[in-house]
Chains A and B, each alone.
Chain A
Amino acid sequence: DSGVTQTPKHLITATGQRVTLRCSPRSGDLSVYWYQQSLDQGLQFLIQYYNGEERAKGNILERFSAQQFPDLHSELNLSSLELGDSALYFCASSAKTGDFTGELFFGEGSRLTVL
């Protein structure tokens, strides 16, 4: 158990809809990362938050947005969903202290299926 909790584990929805994925990082971790894992694109970095502020942006579509709340949990919002958005979305956390060692702690993922 990594200590990172993601909900829901599975989600099935239709094209054009909007969903919200939730992540609770390890206790004390200040950074949250979102990754998308699909069969054709591999593991793609979407966005990083540190202590409530956006720190880095990767290949995140404009239809997607995220935020980190004062209690450090994070939400990834996906809107106007398309079939190609079907993927496993991982949240990871890091930085229990100020020193980043490169170790990310991953949740088990939220599997999104768009029909």
Chain B
Amino acid sequence: GDSVTQMEGPVTLSEEAFLTINCTYTATGYPSLFWYVQYPGEGLQLLLKATKADDKGSNKGFEATYRKETTSFHLEKGSVQVSDSAVYFCALSDLDTGRRALTFGSGTRLQVQP
């Protein structure tokens, strides 16, 4: 079945450092890819998405590019802030099926220190 693999956390960075969180996927079809973020005490919320190969999703300074050849969707940000401290989840969904439920990775905790 479909699966998502994320790098282990926690990732600890200083403010203004460059962030990369790796994500790779396995899927039989042509999934759409997502990054969700979970701030402390809250539910998950969509950060960005890409629906086809070579698409770049971006939001709030975060970016991720859908790489079909490497089955990857790595999350990047050029300069992190303390307010970016959260858990980040990579996910996929095959929008062509009626199932429509997202398959999530295990999550990567980011801690940004001032």
Looking across the interface, which residue of chain B has its beta carbon closest to that of A100?
B100
Do most interface residues of chain B lie in helix, strand or loop, or is the interface mixed? loop
Chain B interface size band reads: 20 to 34
Decide if B114 is an interface residue (CB 8 Å cutoff): no
Looking across the interface, which residue of chain B has its beta carbon closest to that of A4?
B43
Count how many pairs of residues, one from A and one from B, have CB atoms less than 8 Å apart in the complex. Answer: 62
Decide if A94 is an interface residue (CB 8 Å cutoff): yes
Decide if B42 is an interface residue (CB 8 Å cutoff): yes
Q: Within the complex, which residue of B45, B49, B102, B107 is in contact with A2, where a contact is CB–CB below 8 Å?
A: B45
Given contacts A43-B89, A43-B107, contact A102 B34 (CB under 8 A): yes
The answer to whether A90 touches B43, judged by C-beta atoms less than 8 angstroms apart, is yes
A residues contacting B by CB (< 8 A) are 2, 4, 31, 33, 35, 42-43, 45, 48, 55-56, 58, 90, 92, 94-95, 100-109
